């Protein structure tokens, strides 16, 4: 069971972080504009963040696939990075800053509670992966179980990535 859980956590982190990094790299100007609008970074550091954040996301997306103890550290770093992202969102919400997070590319959806919940879910997945990777190596993976774990991870990844779309959909329904 632990092997399937670890596989699922690895897949979610890899897919979500790879998609996030790709979106930021493809729309660097939009990401830089969002960072400036957040007004949280010291002046002159936006350029470093525009490169550093996606680089960290790519590195962690790859490192969660390594054997323990490196994977365990990668999951811990993932949880820490997402906690930092969540803290930024909470600060923006408390300040009433009307800005999109640009987490998965340019978006017109302002930061809201759904974004914080999304990050809490990602933290829970990273912590689960951390625990699963730190446990003694389980037996091998069966094909059927691996397929189920990867399908569940794919579904979870799509929901996480589509947060802005889901927020727009459900807020328009009101």
Q: Each residue's pLDDT tens digit in the chain (174 positions)?
A: 799 999 999 999 999 999 999 999 999 999 999 999 999 999 899 999 999 999 999 999 999 999 989 999 999 999 999 999 999 999 999 999 888 888 887 777 889 999 999 999 999 999 999 999 998 876 778 999 999 999 999 999 999 999 888 888 887 655
Specify the DSSP class assigned to residue 41. Answer: S
pTM of the predicted model, to two decimals? 0.93
Specify the DSSP class assigned to residue 64. Answer: T
* pLDDT at 110 (0 to 100): 87
* pLDDT at 165 (0 to 100): 86
What is the signed CA dihedral for 39, 40, 44, 50, rounded to 10 degrees? -100
Q: Residue 74 in contact with residue 64, Cβ under 8 Å?
A: yes
**Of 130, 22, 29, whose CA–CA distance to 75 is shortest?**
130
Residues in CB range of 47: below 8 A, 6 or more apart: 32
Bridge partners (DSSP) of residue 105 are: 103
Which region, left, alpha or beta, applies to residue 39 given φ > 0 means left and ψ of -120 to 50 means alpha? left
How many angstroms separate the CA atoms of 29 and 49, rounded?
Answer: 12
How many angstroms separate the CA atoms of 23 and 152, rounded?
Answer: 23
Specify the DSSP class assigned to residue 66. Answer: S
The token pair at 131 is 């625990």
């Amino acid at each position: 069971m632990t092997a399937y859980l670890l596989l699922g956590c690895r897949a979610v982190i890899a897919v979500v972080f790879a998609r996030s990094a790709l979106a930021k790299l493809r729309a660097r100007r939009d990401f830089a504009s969002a960072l400036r609008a957040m007004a949280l970074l010291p002046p002159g550091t936006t350029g470093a963040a525009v490169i550093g954040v996606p680089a960290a996301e790519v590195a962690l997306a790859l490192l969660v696939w390594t054997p323990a103890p490196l994977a365990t550290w990668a999951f811990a770093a993932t949880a820490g990075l997402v906690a930092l992202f969540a803290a930024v969102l909470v600060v923006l919400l408390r300040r009433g800053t009307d800005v999109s997070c640009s987490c998965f590319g340019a978006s017109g959806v302002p930061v809201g509670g759904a974004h914080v919940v999304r990050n809490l879910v990602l933290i829970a997945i990273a912590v689960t992966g951390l625990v699963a990777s730190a446990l003694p190596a389980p037996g091998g993976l069966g094909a059927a179980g691996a397929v189920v774990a990867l399908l569940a991870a794919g579904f979870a990844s799509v929901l996480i990535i589509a947060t802005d779309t889901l927020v727009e959909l459900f807020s328009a329904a009101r």
